Amino acid sequence: QVQLVESGGGLVQAGGSLRLACTASGSIANFNFMGWYRSPPGKERELVVVGVNRGATNYADSVKGQFIFSRDNFKNTVYLQMNSLKTEDTGVYYCHGATTWRQVGEPDGSWGQGTQVTVSS
């Protein structure tokens, strides 16, 4: 099974930027859907963005115009560029891959271990 490993998290001041990366141990070609979820402190995991391979990208309303998702199939890596960060963007960010739409957001999709993003005021 392909493993997903996130990197790029850290501590940043409000208004700053971070770029997360998620690199797979193998090919991501079979992941028709890839994206990012996050777990804010004390809250359930929520969708940040999901993208269809070579297709549309769907952002949560809370990050539209602020975050940019990209995918590099040659590098087996997806990215999340996060700009104008706010304290409410704090959380653990998880990379996610799914082969079918049914698997999106579900435990039987592929998940990374998560990377902490902390935005200070």
Is the pLDDT at 38 greater than 90? The verdict is yes
Percent of the chain scoring above 90 in pLDDT: 96
Mean pLDDT, residues 106-119:
97
To the nearest whole number, what is the mean pLDDT of the chain? 97
Burial category of 44 from C-beta neighbours within 10 Å (exposed 0-12, middle 13-18, buried 19 and up): exposed
CA distance 114 to 96: 10
Burial category of 117 from C-beta neighbours within 10 Å (exposed 0-12, middle 13-18, buried 19 and up): buried
Is the pLDDT at 6 greater than 90? The verdict is yes
Mean pLDDT, residues 104-110:
96
Mean pLDDT, residues 27-39:
96
Query: How high is the pLDDT of residue 121?
Result: 95
Q: How confident is the model at residue 1 (pLDDT cuts 50, 70, 90)?
A: confident
40-69 per-position pLDDT tens digit: 999 999 999 999 999 999 999 999 999 999
Query: How high is the pLDDT of residue 78?
Result: 98
Query: How high is the pLDDT of residue 94?
Result: 98
